[in-house]
Chain A
Amino acid sequence: MLNKFKVVNKSVKKVDGLSLACGKPVFAGDMDSRGLLCVKILTSTKAHARIKHIDISKAEALPGVYCVLCHTNVPRVPRTTAGQGYPEPSPYDSVMFDNKVRFVGDRVAAVAAETEEIAEEALKLIDVEYDILEPVLDPKKAMADGAPVIHDQDDCKVIIPIAYEPQKNICAYVDAVVGDTEKAFAGSDYVFEGEFHAPKAQHCATEPHVSSAHLDDKDRIIIVTSTQVPFHVRRIVAQTLQLPIKKIRVIKPRVGGAFGSKQEMCFEDIVAMVTLRTGRSCMLKYTREEVFVSSRIRHEQYVTLKGGLNKDGKITGFDMYVLSNTGAYGSHGLTVMCNCGSKVLPLYPAENLTFRGHAVYTNSPVAGAYRGYGATQAAFAMEVIIDQMAEKLGVDPVDFRLSHHIKEGQGSPIFQALGEGREGVEQKVKSCGLPDCIKLGAEEINWKQKYYKSKDNGTIKRGIGMAALMQGSSIPEIDMASASIKMNEDGSFNLLVGATDLGTGSDTVLAQIAAENLGISEEDIIVYSSDTDMTPFDVGAYASSTTYLSGMAVKNAADIVKAQIISVVKEMLNETDSEFEFDDGMIKSLTSGKELAMSDVALRAMYQENQFQIGAIGSAISHSSPPPFAAHFVEVEVDTETGKVTVLKYVAAVDCGTAINPKLAEGQTEGAVLNGISYALTENYILNDQGRMLNPNFRHYKTLRSNDIKELKTIMVPTYEPTGPYGAKSVSEISINGAMPAISNAIYHATGVRLYDAPFTPDKVLKALNQK
């Protein structure tokens, strides 16, 4: 299957690579800010308080201030900022500005002024009188009787039928039961149980969130923003400002990384409102501290996993309970939690499965979408329990996973039981390269030799560990993508996609798919993406959907265009019954062998006979979410005197179906792996007892640098996913999930100590070693 491709499965150069490497002004913040109003947000210094009184008059009176927004002068429209499709599965629990603050960093007011200095001065002139309420920061205390109620307003609601009890701080509850786990555990030879803690974390996209707004010549609001979801942003801004959607255009230029954080509509409503009120262009950008404190983070979760095993190696069941801390607002609260089950439980088929979860409100920073989306947190639990099962039976963890993982042709009742806010979709795995991932990865790390070596006697101990992983590709029966292709007279094509390139390379990958189908070079495709006026709809870049789903839309559009081209060629060659082949920019008759160039066809269609524009829009919806698979291996060194864990080598073997662009797929994998290692070893939110983050900067919130890793190896394992474009599945998220369990398993292999609470910082490692 793979060999016949001409453009796909080739590492062509990224279409925007050179502009980026040359520092072209292509990001949302790369414009002359003089003449734009500078917008700044006044954020809450309290974790939980009612705004008794707010006085903006002094700020408004400051020369150079054009607009001050707060809860007294904007409409109160409950909505969610989660940036999901409609109807959203996240609760409508936020408004533009509220009379209550729910975390340190919450919006209180916004100022638009001629300069940054004036805006900052104006923020200081806003008088806020708070009625301070008791905060609840610990998700384990949020549901307790008498806990402070965070959303006590009477207008918060859910718009789809899900279990939502804000009076108990429950943002979402979900359960799914298959078989009878209690009975299964009672009859099992062994039962394993652990509570795993995956902490809060920030995406740390290098580009902080930034948006600008201006009016066009017809007084429509044009928002240029660093977003993953331009169409959802347009819809949510229209909803919040109570404007028709047609009054708003959202343009996404290049995005400086996102990883989920820019799925959230963090402040596009504010810039739009400033421009609506003042008629002036404006820009708002977060400082790094604001990104940490006020944007969105990963859901901190406590995952309790119980697994039953018989002596003959049969896994009898799993019971997973997730306590998910959604922070002050419920963005992605339900769906991240559902993904813990739906992306992790199917990997090891068992007859009895129970999944339950509470997503709870706390007065801590707001969680949202983050690469991995719940699978990261739950895979930590699953892959450590699987290691314990293998050890109990005296089976090599590599062999245990090889014999127990889901195989091609198998399904899981969990796929159907757990959807995203509604019932899921039944599906069977149609492509699975996990056996090869496990075998090749084990070989690369030299598993056999290192796993069975004699133990070190020194203070520095080495160990290896592994994890097997799956994710999904798009949200089935919910997500839709579309693409438009138009022919030019030189035989080149414009490809317009709603799909959103975040630096992921999707513009390139989608150009490759179009070029492959049209039999031309990707250099003859001019890509333009993510502009709500110009490009057709796409849900945006999330849920590992772009290559799979938007790729299929592009392929469908190219199919229609090819049919149009053939109709012209038939007229030109007078061959009504022939079949044609598209190759190397030529259309060849399989009957007569006659050839025409793309440009001949275009010229005829545009200028000469029966003229029409060759072009079409293609759409795609996903009917399944084929999982990519991966096996991760890590060798670590643990200094038992200091507790420091060093990663010596990391191997990620990944099955993403056909890698449309292997180098970009490797890049996605390497980036996800490093982020995963960083999350496992160093990253954490340190909050004081009043909910204030104490480390909101790169000096005290450590992400890994080029010299922190010794060796990182990626192996792409090709398979062919029959439902994907040219056999492709997703690749972007899966590899963030492996490091936490693999490193935990490796630390155990090195020292005999299991760590359940990430990150595995030296203090925790030392403490665990001392308790051994």
Chain B
Amino acid sequence: MKVKLNINGVDKDLTIEPGEILLHTLRNNGYYGPKHACSTGDCGACTVIMDGEAVNSCLVFTASAEGKKITTIEGIGTVSNPHPLQQTFVEEGAVQCGYCIPGMILSAKVLLDKNINPSEEEVKTALSGNLCRCTGYVKQIKAVIKAAETMRGGQ
């Protein structure tokens, strides 16, 4: 079946299988940022932004995303031109294995898009759907707060 999605600002006409999951559609089309890790919506490694909200793409039927705007980690910054969150995550040592990081950064972005001056508690809540086993979340929380500062300074 056919589906229209806007991925990272580009309109795409994609052919999918009925019952296909958004995570697979994205990865089959070269967006490897969203990661497979649990398939049950418990870990957040597959997080993408759909119409402004962070969603677990492993729980979204691609067909149900018809016409929606999807942002993956590839859509917010590049190695040459990183998003402030990508920058501060690296500067603060918040990236270890990095498998959970795309999802975590996107959860943080949704928070900062709505609240550019979050408290530590608000950051913890925003990241609580993204499991990380390498870190103690300490540096990621700091990185989000620092990115918020950068982004406020830039406005």
Contacts and interface: CB of A to CB of B under 8 A. Distances in A.
Interface of A: 11, 13-14, 16-27, 29-30, 32-34, 203-208, 254-257, 259, 285, 287-288, 502-505, 663-664, 666-667, 669-671, 673-675, 697-699, 703, 705-707, 709, 712, 714
Nearest to B81: A22
B136 A673 contact: yes
A666 B39 CA distance: 31
A206 B100 contact: yes
Given A21-B95, A257-B134, A206 B86 contact: no
A510 to B, nearest CB: 16
B136 A256 contact: no
B31 to A, nearest CB: 8
A697 B40 CA distance: 8
A285 B31 CA distance: 18
25 contacts: A17-B89, A18-B79, A21-B89, A21-B98, A22-B82, A24-B79, A27-B32, A33-B27, A205-B99, A206-B131, A207-B35, A254-B97, A256-B37, A256-B99, A288-B39, A503-B96, A503-B99, A670-B139, A698-B43, A705-B127, A706-B124, A707-B127, A709-B137, A712-B136, A712-B138
A257 B37 CA distance: 12
B39 A709 contact: no
Contacts of A706: 123-125, 127-128, 130, 132, 137, 140-141
Contacts of B91: 13
A19 B129 CA distance: 23
Interface in B76-105: 77-79, 82, 85-86, 89-102, 105
A256 to B, nearest CB: 3
A698 B93 contact: no
A57 B130 CA distance: 43
B79 to A, nearest CB: 5
Nearest to B102: A23
B79 A257 contact: no
Interface of B is mostly: loop
Contacts of A256: 35, 37, 97-99
B69 interface: no
A14, A287, A675, A697, most chain B CB atoms within 10 A: A14
Interface string B112-127: 0000000001011101
B74 A23 contact: yes
Contacts of B131: 204, 206, 698, 703, 705
B97 A13 contact: no
Nearest to A21: B86
A583 to B, nearest CB: 26
Contacts of B102: 21, 23
B35 A27 contact: yes
B42 to A, nearest CB: 4
A11 B121 CA distance: 27
B70 interface: no
A11 to B, nearest CB: 6
A121 B19 CA distance: 17
A475 B142 CA distance: 36
A664 B135 contact: no
Interface in B6-49: 27-28, 30-40, 42-43, 45
Given A206-B100, A671-B133, A706-B124, A22 B78 contact: yes
A203 B93 CA distance: 22
B74 A699 contact: no
A709 B124 CA distance: 9
Nearest to A258: B97
B73 interface: yes
Contact of B99 (A11, A27, A285): A27
A20, A33, A288, A699, most chain B CB atoms within 10 A: A20
A670 B33 contact: no
Closest 5 CB pairs of A and B: A503-B97, A23-B33, A20-B98, A670-B136, A256-B99
A32 B86 CA distance: 25
A19 B125 CA distance: 26
A256 B100 CA distance: 8
Given A666-B139, A707-B125, A709-B137, 4 more contacts: A23-B102, A24-B79, A288-B37, A673-B136
B128 A20 contact: no
Contacts of B57: none
